[in-house]
Amino acid sequence: MLIYEQYEREEFSSYIYNIYHVLRSQEQWAQNPYVNCLKNVYRNAKLLSKSFFTRRRRIRSTVSEPMSIPQSAGVDCCEYPPDETDNG
């Protein structure tokens, strides 16, 4: 799982770097800002947003998995195990 997390971090940083690089190189898009700059920035921002959403959904499902213990398993979330020193 650590390898997968590093891969996603690289994806996030590549989208951010691409947006930064396009905005910084004004001489490349000065002739036609819409086609050469805005479309590229919009595409990278959309992909970055999609990656964040996917990451959030994966974290949410990972966190909620251990909390969803079926009641048929005989485990009550509010019961504590009996104390060994308790005689009653």
Q: What is the pLDDT of residues 41-79, one digit of tens each?
A: 999 999 999 988 988 888 888 887 666 555 555 555 555
Q: What is the mean pLDDT of residues 35-42?
A: 93
> Is 67 a member of any domain?
no
> Is 77 a member of any domain?
no
User: Which residue segment(s) compose the domain that 10 sits in?
Assistant: 2-57
pTM for the structure as a whole: 0.60
In the chain, how many domains are there? 1
> Is 31 a member of any domain?
yes
Q: How far apart are CA 88 and CA 83, in angstroms?
A: 10
> Is 72 a member of any domain?
no
- The reported pLDDT for the residue numbered 21 is 95
> Is 33 a member of any domain?
yes
> Is 8 a member of any domain?
yes
Q: How far apart are CA 7 and CA 1, in angstroms?
A: 10
What pLDDT, in 10s, does the model give residues 3-20? 555 556 667 889 999 999
